[in-house]
Chain A
Amino acid sequence: MNRSTIILLIILMLCSLSLVAAQQKTRSLYVALERAQTEERRLNQEWLRLEYEQRNLSKSSRITDIARKQLQMQPINPGRTQYVVVD
């Protein structure tokens, strides 16, 4: 075996090792990506749930009910409204 063969063999070994390392890295990154995507889905769901809750809390029937019963408010009428025209 001459010297160049040995050098090539070493390079080949290094390449193979780096391939294994790269594969390992890909996989761990993929796992992280998976986790992030799961988290994204969870947060999306959470957002939908919060949006629904907000809608439930702000719907007309609830507001009317609270305004009338708890806050003793009355519906406005045009006679007690000052109209402002925005140019």
Chain B
Amino acid sequence: MPRISYSSTPNLVLRLPMWRSRLVLFLIFIGFISLVLRAIWVQGFDNSFYEEKGNKATLRTIEMPASRGKILDRNGEVLATSLLAKAIIAFPEAIPENIEKNKIVELARLLEMSESEIRKKLASEKNQVFLKRQVDLEIAKKIKDLGIPGIAQNSEYKRLYPEGEAMAHVVGFTNVEDRGQEGMELAREKDLAGQPGRRRVIQDRLGRYVEGLGIINPPKDGADLQLSIDSKVQYLAFNEIKAIVEKHQAKAAGVVVLDVQTGEVLALANWPTYNPNTRVGLTGEKLRNRVLTDTFEPGSTVKPFSVAIALEKGLIQPNTQMQIGKKVVIGKKAITDTKSYDTLTVAEIIQKSSNIGTAKIAMQLSAQDMWEMFQSVGLGQAPTIGFPGAVAGRLRPHKNWVPIDQATMSYGYGLSASLFQIARAYTIFARDGELVPATMYKSDVKPKGTQVISAKTAIQMREMLETVTQTGGTAINAQTLGYRVGGKTGTSHKVEGKGYSTDKYRGFFVGLAPMSAPRIVVAVMVDEPRVGGYYGGVVAAPAFSNIVAGTLRGMSVLPDAAIKQMVNKDTPIPLSDSTQKVSLSR
């Protein structure tokens, strides 16, 4: 075979047509051009698809948590606060069949649930189930340590109420979604609730947020809310009504304490009540804020208003003698007293709570004057205190009154009011004739009241109210060690069916203290006391006395009554009398 060197290959001399190489070159050129066009298209015009792909891998929109505002008392003590908690969630499908039994038992123990309950939830057909919500962080950590697959945790807030049932009706409570359901939590939901925010971040391979791309909407924490309630006074008042209900086996009781200088509500308590932390066994009976939402015929507690307007009109004087007798007949109805008197002065009519005397005074008044008096102290109008469910009570227009209406209304039948309305009305006696607007929120400005009666009449009424608590009055039990007190008892038959019940009563006491310069009004209501008496002077006055003593001491009010000194006089500070004036350098 002849060897042919490369240089003499016959192929080399073969000339190919020029157009072939041109064509290849052209095709390559077209290829590059299309690549460039595609690149421009993808990067410049139709870039959303790939951008989205890229973003999906790194961009995250995350929630920025906001917390619900706290509720505080007037001294800044916490009444309601939100703490972080965990929701324990199970994904039934992800839980292995052969899970160790002791792990389930332990889980049940930690969640305070029965094992069968847990197993039932785990057998659920659903994709995911809540095993329990609002679990404490410590317990949640122990559950995490159990390491059961298919059990996850979610952060959420748990609302806690340190004062528990004593403050339940004022503060109210929230549901598991952290939304207000009752009380202040409901009334001020808009301010208390936080608004979670959102922001965009870039997340790296390790799950860290490496770059912030800005906040879409900033989180807004709920505002704290400061109430006028003093938790010490509230505790005291709550304990007193609780004790009354036990002692007299009453159906219910309520109390309200007002600061007469500022119109602030210092305490507002009801029994029966509930624990807002657990919220178990809630019934309407327990949930009801009786002080604000229950209206009743206020009985003798309105007598001072009937007498005050007659004094104001100059129809009577405190020492005017009135014929009383056994009964007085107006229209077809006879009005009687529990004890009969021949004559009483106007002051004694209040002191002894004579229905006949009050009715006789009222009959000298025009219906319009009496109606205006009741109206101007706030009866028949819902108090504007920004609280859900505060009711107006009933006060019929005076044009519809017949004489017997006027007579019975003068001693508190035929009209209705809430305990709160009655307490507020009494501020006219405490404030030299001014009615003060009541508030549930702490305020530093002294509110402007409306003058209802003259200061002179208010002072005269105060003197009469003080005699009620002195010998011969209906409420000796209201006397308070160290302080001069005054007030008015009330005992009313409850309405049952079409008439009045003969054996179901409400007992009240509404009073003010100290009489030398009133600082507080306290109103106590006892519903259906069953044992140990039912008169307001018996069931409600002792609680009034205890509440006044504790509250005034807490407010550092000096005693204005004579007290037997038992202080050891050998103390280093020399004593001239029980009160010592000293200057402290500050």
Contact = CB atoms under 8 A, between A and B. Distances in A.
B83 A48 contact: yes
B212 A84 contact: no
Contacts of B579: 83, 85
A87 B583 contact: yes
B24 interface: no
Contacts of A52: 78, 81, 83, 160, 162
Interface string B159-186: 0101100100000000000000000000
B558 A59 contact: no
Interface stretch (B369-377, B537-545, B566-574): B566-574
Interface stretch (B203-211, B350-358, B421-429): B203-211
A64 B238 CA distance: 14
Interface residues of A, number: 29
B162 A59 contact: yes
Interface string A36-74: 000001000100110110011001110010000000000
A82 interface: yes
Interface stretch (A3-11, A13-21, A23-31): A23-31
B555 interface: no
Contacts, number: 90
Contact of A49 (B83, B558, B563): B83
Contacts of B559: 78, 83
A86 interface: yes
Given A77-B482, A78-B481, A85-B579, A51 B78 contact: yes
User: Most chain-B CB neighbours within 10 Å: which of A30, A49, A60, A87?
Assistant: A60
A26 B481 contact: no
Interface residues of B, number: 44
Interface in B55-84: 65, 67, 77-78, 81-84
A1 to B, nearest CB: 26
A2 interface: no
Contacts of B482: 77-79
Contacts of A82: 567, 571, 573, 575, 578, 580
B82 A86 contact: no
A31 B563 CA distance: 69
A76 B566 CA distance: 11
B209 A34 contact: yes
Question: Is the contact region of chain A dominated by helix, strand, or loop, or is it mixed?
Answer: helix
A58 B231 CA distance: 11
Nearest to A27: B210
A30 B160 contact: no
Nearest to A41: B65
A28 to B, nearest CB: 8
A83 B209 contact: no
A31 B205 CA distance: 13
A27 B580 contact: no
A78 B210 contact: no
Contacts of A86: 582-584
A55 B77 contact: yes
A82 B84 CA distance: 47
B564 interface: yes
Given A48-B83, A86-B584, A87-B581, A81 B208 contact: no
A85 B212 contact: no
Contact of A45 (B77, B83, B235, B582): B83
6 contacts: A51-B81, A59-B162, A59-B231, A60-B231, A77-B549, A79-B567
Interface of B: 65, 67, 77-78, 81-84, 160, 162-163, 166, 204, 208-212, 231-232, 235-236, 481-483, 549, 553, 558-559, 563-567, 571, 573, 575, 578-584
